[in-house]
Each structure stands twice: as structure tokens, then as C-alpha cells.
Amino acid sequence: MKLYISLACMATLFSSCGPANMRTQKDSTGTAIDSPTALVATDDLVATHRFSVKGDFDGDGREETLTEHFLYKDSQQEARKNWVDDSFDSISKEIWSGKTASFISSDNPAIDTLRMAAPCMGIEFMKNEGDLNGDGKDELSYVPALADYSAINRWYIMTWQQHQWRELYSFPISELQLPYPHEDSLRHFKGLVRKLGKKHIELIYINKDADWDTIIVHLDRPKKIF
């Protein structure tokens, strides 16, 4: 999560943080709020919140829970998010030096952990999109919390196929399109992806002029925006 006190100062550099896979790790967070997009309940919500979503992501008819983690590799302790001033620079150096890990774990051991491949500070937003491509499985949307000062990010739609996470589609967004990490804000935020029909989705993205725009994508013939 970026510095909310300095949103007006964020640069508009395009960057991405794509997915990678690793073995499932044990969930070390608290109890999730019952919501399609939820925050794990913590005492210090802004600094320590973790996203958690429920759904049938492998199509076996049983529900699993996916949970965000941002932790220190050596201690396996969850790290703080939303650092300010010099503290943000300090944690960014630790992230870029490989001392932390950002990933999404599953309580179903058959579903591999989804790890962020680029330096990230956990997740900005995560949501169960339902079955977008008609394969009988729910799709997962997430936005990585990039360890930078840019307000430009990328929204990833992931699907579980052939025993691994695969990117179904991704598109550029502005982090100003995302809600503040507060329960009420998240409950009212419907996301930036809307299912129109069989394998057709509508997206709200940021175009090359840095304006918000919409596009309809056919998932059988997806055309990348950029």
C-alpha cells in the first residue's frame, strides 16, 4: 500500500508485478470478515491489514480461503504495511534486497501459493470475481502493492489451471481507482471488472493519456491494452 499522505506527489511511471508460484505456506493471520473481498481482522488495521477471500478456485465444489501475506523471510513474521517518510524508504530497501516475501496462500494444499515476482509490499486489493471464463472455477483478482512511489499499477485476473496459477488477463490502473483499506470502503467497492456474458468482461482501466476508460474483452480472444 502506498503512502496515503503523499498521493498527490506520486509519479506516473508504468510498472508491473506479475505472479509466480511457490509451495503453500501456513496462514499466520487472524479471522477474516465474511465478505467477497475482506480484510483480516487486526488491531492496527491500516498498518497490518491482510486481505482474505473465499471461493471455489479449483472447481471441486468445495470452498477454500486465499490469504495475503507480507512477511520477513528470516523470522517468518508478518511485516507492517503503509510506512511513511523515512520508514517507507527503509522498508523499501529491505524489500528490494530480498529480505521480505509477498504472496497469497491457500488453506487447500492442492492449490499452490501465488507469489509476487517483483518487489511488493503485500496486496493493494484482492477479490473473488466468480467464474469469468465458464470453466466452473472462480477467478481471483489482485493488485500488488508495489514498493515504489508511482500511482500507476496493474490489475491481475488469475485462474487455477493445470495445477498452477495462470494469468487470465491484466490491465493498467491508477491506484486512485482503489478504495482506502477500510471495511466500509471495501464493502462498497465493486471492483474494476464486470462480467457481461459468456467469456465477455468489461474493465475500467487507465489509458495512455492517464484517463480512466472502459473496454470490453473477449477472454477467448483477449487483446492486451498495453
In this prediction, residue 74 has a pLDDT band, given cuts at 50, 70 and 90, of very high
Its pTM surpasses 0.85: no
The number of folded domains in the chain is: 1
Separation of alpha carbons 218 and 201, rounded Å? 7
Flag whether 18 is in a domain: yes
pLDDT tens-place string over residues 23-69? 333 333 332 333 444 444 333 444 578 999 999 999 999 999 999 99
Residue identified by cell 516475501 is 101
Cα distances from 108 to residues 112, 134, 171, in angstroms, run 8, 22, 28
Residue 208 lies inside a defined structural domain of this protein: no
Residue at 216 is within a domain = no
Give domain status of residue 204, yes or no: no
In this model, does residue 14 exceed pLDDT 60?
A: no
The proportion of the chain whose per-residue pLDDT surpasses 90, expressed as a percent, equals: 53
pLDDT single digits (tens) 167-176: 999 999 999 9
Cell of 153: 499499477
Quote the CA–CA distance of 3 and 6 in Å, as a whole number: 6
218 assigned to some structural domain? no
| Average pLDDT over every residue of 175-182 | 83
Residue 85, domain member (yes or no): yes
Q: Give the Cα separation of 57 and 130 in Å (integer).
A: 9
Residue 178 has a pLDDT of: 92
| Cβ partners under 8 Å of residue 69, min gap 6 | 25, 27, 28, 29, 50, 78, 101, 102, 103, 104, 105, 122
Is the pLDDT score of 131 beyond 70?
A: yes
Q: Residue 65 belongs to what domain range?
A: 4-190
Please state the rounded mean pLDDT for residues 156-162.
97
Q: What is the mean pLDDT of the chain?
A: 80
Helices (H), the chain: 45-48, 85-96, 183-188
